[in-house]
Structure 1
Amino acid sequence: MTTVYLDHAATTPMLPCAVDAMAEQFARTGNPSSLHASGRHARRVVEESRERIAQALNCRPGEVVFTSGGTEADNLAVKGIHWARGRARILSTAVEHHAVLDPLHWLAESGGADVTLLGVDAQCRLDLPALEAAIAQGGDDISLISVMWANNEVGTLQTISEVVALAAAHGIPVHTDAVQAIGAVPVDFAASGVDALTLTGHKVGGPFGVGALVVRRELEVAPLLHGGGQERDIRSGTIDTPAIAGFAAAVEETVKHQAEHHARLRALRERLVDGVRRAVPDVLVSGDPERSLPGHAHLRFPGCEGDSLLMLLDARGIECSTGSACNAGVPQASHVLLAMGCTDAEARSSLRFSLGHTSTTADVDAVIDAIAPVVERARAAGVKRGLA
């Protein structure tokens, strides 16, 4: 049975250029912190990779701090900036990834931080007047504002430029989790005005276990790890040269082809949504129809359990998700959909199809062909259990 993989928001297959870049380094030996020839070669690979990522994102090479992935980068931004600034309040949104929400909860419970999670509307758009009001309550006491660039579940793009404008008037640093945005939409660090930005390798066709926090040189960040003082003394630890080489190759490749990738995925997504609507007329589409990621199709099927739909599709060789992969298997409704005003039942009736560089028209058509009988079976099962 052929597998149709439509869960690129969870992870996307590695690009050949990233595989080749890693394979070349696997055959070499050398710690980038060593002073001998092998160490100097490894250091050169790391610094050239840093420059390639910086060029792709329009930041300075010294602003790229390598981490083990997006979760560490988010933790480093949220905790590190908050601790370094020594102020009580943090502003964020109710729809952030748990890599941001959980550190915020920990800071509130263990460190006495005053955390405000701002609401969103039914399309997952940040309530900007609420943000402005929260800043007005005491901007001098806010350590940072963290707002994701693109939502990982429904695909809505936030208006980061407006967040930055509100924060800048009070000198408040802005962090954005741009894990889903890199390579999908234009991301320019310098032009955006943000102070810190998270990205990770496995969402752009690079390897697992590597990411980066792009952070302005002028912004002080307290480290989470202490040791050898690598990465500007912000992130100690032996640097993973092969992973960084693969990461840089993937970032460079995805950003270079972002515009054509966007157009191709947008067309595939529209074909998918239109086809599902014809097959299941009462399907509901979540997210902002005007400002969203090109390959995200978040659909709600009234009278169905998303987990049932997922397993029925999986039996047909079609792989998607019910939301964030980090919450897979957890029997609770999506915090994102609940924040958007969905009921628990509505939130649990959803599927996320996320397309990527390997997605094809045949993949989309396979979903369209399968969805009606799958929904019919899921609804019948729901009726038997008294869910519909």
Structure 2
Amino acid sequence: MKRAYLDNAASTPIRDEVLKVMINTLKSSLGNPSSVQHSYGRETRSILEESRICIAKSIKAFPSEIIFTSGGTEANNLVLRSSVLNLGIKHILTSQLEHLSVLQTILDLSIRHEISVDFISFDKKGVLDFNDMETILKKNMYKKTLVSLMYANNEIGNLLEVDQVIFLCKKYKAYFHSDIIQGIGNSHINMEQLSCDFATVSAHKFYGPKGIGFAFIRKDILKNMKPFITGGVQEYGIRSGTENIYGIAGLSEALRLSYCNLKNHIKKIKNLKSYCIVELKKIFPNIIFNGLSSHLEKSIPSILNFLYPTKPDHLFYFHLDIMGIAVSKGSSCSSNNKKNHKISHVIQSITDKYLLTRMMPIRISFGIFNEKKDIDLLVEVLQKVRK
């Protein structure tokens, strides 16, 4: 049976080159990277630090600004919790469209540490209201504030107007954290240009291994950070525990390869997205795209989200899978629970409730290993399901 994997926003396939690096690292890195008393440990330490240098070079950062974590969720927790505990943050400004690892962590911090929280308003396309953002920042200008907004929305693909956010953060002396997990590897991110204070990354979104990521923390802020996980001196004393060497080596290689041919990869994925939009419009002339996902310049190339004309059925996505199509309704991090039949908080926030009683959201996410034949199979299956 023909199959098409179109859920790259959830996780991407690992590149063969990355697997090779990881396997070689598993075979060769016998020592503990903290055991620098002998050559085995020093050799493993060398892999760790060379990977850190390679990552920093790719994104135009300093090696000391890279703190390895178990993935994006831990990285978001590290940044948000450490900002409150170490930097004296008393106010957090975010949006209701963020990933749950940000929203639930902020909720927890607001309860445990009496942090005031505000949410920026947005329109039906998920576009943030920057006048509202400035009003909130001005109102709280005497509180130490952290702004947390993702670079590219993981469900509807909207690209953040980063320059506007940075301008307002600087104007009101607020710290800025950006979850760049969907953006990195799918767009050119340069930390010299993206002048945020914190950024968070997960390797399995750009053809690297699962279970590894990093937090970027500006060096002038890092000196004020205390341990997030205690019990050792790893990761500059911020995150104790023996480092995942083969995962880190895989992350480094995946990021290096992403940046090597990024222009061509973006072009390919954008062409796939354009082709998909055209083909979907042929079978659904009145198709409704969610957010700005169909706008090629204002959304990330890898994500397209639309409403499929069928009454809500939590088995709908399984039917598509049985017919060879792997897509999702939204974030995989919010799907693995007893309420997985519910529509995501992002789609509920921007979509008319009446429409959601008659239509199902579908998130298609493209990757570098997809071809036009995958889109053709998707369209064919959607037509069959509709009939």
Q: 1:276 aligns with which of 277, 280, 288?
A: 280
**Deviation larger for 286-295 or 360-369:** 286-295
Cα distance per residue 1:82-114 (max 9 Å; x no partner): 221223211111100011111001111222111
CA–CA distance in structure 2, aligned partners of residues 294 and 87 of structure 1: 34
Distance 1:142 1:302, change over 3 A: farther
CA contact (8 A) 1:82 1:143 kept: no
CA contact (8 A) 2:88 2:144 kept: no
Q: 1:91 aligns with which of 90, 93, 103?
A: 93
Aligned to 2:22: 22
Aligned to 2:127: 125
Q: Indicate yes or no: 2:365 matched with 1:354.
A: yes
Q: Indicate yes or no: 2:312 matched with 1:305.
A: yes
Q: 2:156 aligns with which of 144, 154, 157?
A: 154
Q: 2:74 aligns with which of 72, 75, 78?
A: 72
User: What is the aligned residue count?
Assistant: 376
CA contact (8 A) 2:83 2:89 kept: no
Aligned partner letter, 2:236? R
CA contact (8 A) 1:76 1:223 kept: no
Aligned to 2:300: 293
Aligned partner letter, 2:33? P
CA contact (8 A) 1:272 1:367 kept: no
Aligned partner letter, 1:373? K
- Secondary structure of the 1:294 match is coil
Distance 1:315 1:110, change over 3 A: same
- Secondary structure of the 1:313 match is helix
Q: 1:227 aligns with which of 207, 226, 231?
A: 231
CA contact (8 A) 2:10 2:332 kept: yes
Q: Indicate yes or no: 2:218 matched with 1:216.
A: yes
**Deviation larger for 237-246 or 277-286:** 277-286
Aligned to 2:32: 31
Q: CA RMSD in A?
A: 1.5
**Deviation larger for 342-351 or 322-331:** 342-351
Give structure 1 regions of 4+ aligned residues with deviation exceeding 6 angstroms.
Answer: none
Aligned to 1:260: 264
- Secondary structure of the 1:150 match is coil
Cα deviation for residue 287 of structure 1 reads 2.2
CA contact (8 A) 1:323 1:334 kept: yes
Cα deviation for residue 223 of structure 1 reads 3.2
Q: TM-score, normalised by structure 2?
A: 0.94
Cα deviation for residue 67 of structure 1 reads 0.4
Q: 1:319 aligns with which of 313, 316, 326?
A: 326
Aligned partner letter, 1:297? L
Q: 1:245 aligns with which of 246, 249, 261?
A: 249
- Secondary structure of the 1:247 match is helix
Cα distance per residue 1:2-27 (max 9 Å; x no partner): 32100000000001121011001111
Cα deviation for residue 306 of structure 1 reads 6.3
CA–CA distance in structure 2, aligned partners of residues 294 and 43 of structure 1: 37
Aligned to 1:369: 380
- Secondary structure of the 1:212 match is strand
Aligned partner letter, 2:229? L
Cα deviation for residue 341 of structure 1 reads 4.3
Cα deviation for residue 152 of structure 1 reads 0.3
Q: Indicate yes or no: 2:5 matched with 1:5.
A: yes
CA contact (8 A) 2:155 2:363 kept: yes
